[in-house]
Structure 1
């Protein structure tokens, strides 16, 4: 005769959420340089590199330091069209050069956007905002999430007439981090004239650092 099996531990699964609001202290900018040539790939490449160097020099003239600037992408492409007979015809050679800047001075960030366009950037964008140090904020959000999960579980066991035991398993997820950028097929090259470099006002607003925790608690039967 088989021995009696051990009874399964009754459990309760609860989810908790925590958020901490913070004002971002870093602005992320991206500058795009596109250049094309109808027949010569190297001509397009040289034009893009020359324009990117002019953009970098202008940004540094505004006070940007080397550590705040990085090259994100350099990509070359050749565009063709296909006629009704299936033959390919060259349209143009294209080179894309992407620079990224991170600055804590939002007034400087606003000046950089206009300055880059003035010296030959094809596009300039405020890509987003970041928080330079999220560690303490994440810990606070995690603590709130765990307490929330426990509060929910305690409300459930009170209604059920049982006692809440220790947590047996926990899963944690964090949110509030950055995304990725997309590539535009259409673009224009713009060059501003003297006095056409307005400083864009930049307001970071609030950002939420979030945590979600899933907790499995043991249940203790009364009596």
Structure 2
């Protein structure tokens, strides 16, 4: 009896394993379709149509309150001159406001506070790049003693980027067709498209905060770039 029971159990286990095999095979993920994956690239250089100036006022005083009050007066003059120059209030925004203690160096003991530095920076958006040089002069004349930099960009690059995207797809197809011919196959429809957009912003330029007669400023060009990675289905000949 014992031997017959063990034989029956072994057969039952074998049948159970064999019965489960088709179910396991059915749950395996399908193999991805054959494809050629390439990256297409395209760029376009355009003249920027908007600029940004970061400027401000810094001053020292014996007390934090005196430094802040003097700084507020100085910045008020700067903002008033910007308004008089036709800059809309929404295009001038405070980007940094700080009051920091300044320490006197003392080798024989702990450093002591010998005053406070108040700093107020404003970011000015300029919607006509031809006015940048004149506005820098206006800022300096009004009392701005910090010109942190100037940057240029394209205000609305979306339409221009659409043209670059089409060129990037064309570049991807050209590359894929080269591979397809070399491999003896033909291209099918795109299976997957992913995009990486690059908008090269002209860097902020540091400038000396000195009185000048409309210091020359060159906006240069901004480069709009698109990289697209495309997987193309392939067909056997």
TM-score scaled by structure 1?
0.82
Residue of structure 2 in register with 1:20 after alignment: 44
Where does structure 1 lack aligned partners over 5 or more consecutive residues? none
**Displacement of 1:70:** 1.6
**Displacement of 1:201:** 3.2
Alignment of 1:207-218 (within 5 A): 207-218=222-233
Residue of structure 2 in register with 1:204 after alignment: 219
1:107–1:199 contact (8 Å) kept in structure 2: no
Residue of structure 2 in register with 1:165 after alignment: 188
Where does structure 2 lack aligned partners over 5 or more consecutive residues? 1-20
Residue of structure 1 in register with 2:77 after alignment: 54
**How many aligned residue pairs are there?**
213
The one of 18, 35, 53 aligned to 2:59: 35
Q: Which has the higher helix share?
A: 2
**Displacement of 1:98:** 0.9
1:152–1:82 Cα change, 3 Å: same
Counterpart CA distance in 1 for 2:216 and 2:41 is 34
Residues 1:45 and 2:60 aligned together: no
1:20–1:13 Cα change, 3 Å: same
Counterpart CA distance in 2 for 1:125 and 1:79 is 21
CA deviations on 1:34-92 (whole Å, 9 max, x unpaired) are 1122x311111111111111111112222222232222121222233675577242243
Bigger relative contact order (CA 8 A; separation at least 6): 1
Counterpart CA distance in 1 for 2:122 and 2:76 is 10
TM-score scaled by structure 2?
0.77
1:28–1:127 contact (8 Å) kept in structure 2: yes
Residues 1:152 and 2:167 aligned together: no
1:120–1:189 contact (8 Å) kept in structure 2: no
**Displacement of 1:217:** 2.0
Q: Any idea what SS the aligned residue of 2:67 has?
A: helix
2:193–2:228 contact (8 Å) kept in structure 1: yes
**Displacement of 1:97:** 0.8
1:221–1:60 Cα change, 3 Å: same
Residue of structure 2 in register with 1:102 after alignment: 125
Counterpart CA distance in 1 for 2:173 and 2:79 is 53
**Displacement of 1:8:** 4.3
**Displacement of 1:198:** 0.9
Counterpart CA distance in 2 for 1:8 and 1:93 is 67
1:28–1:129 contact (8 Å) kept in structure 2: yes
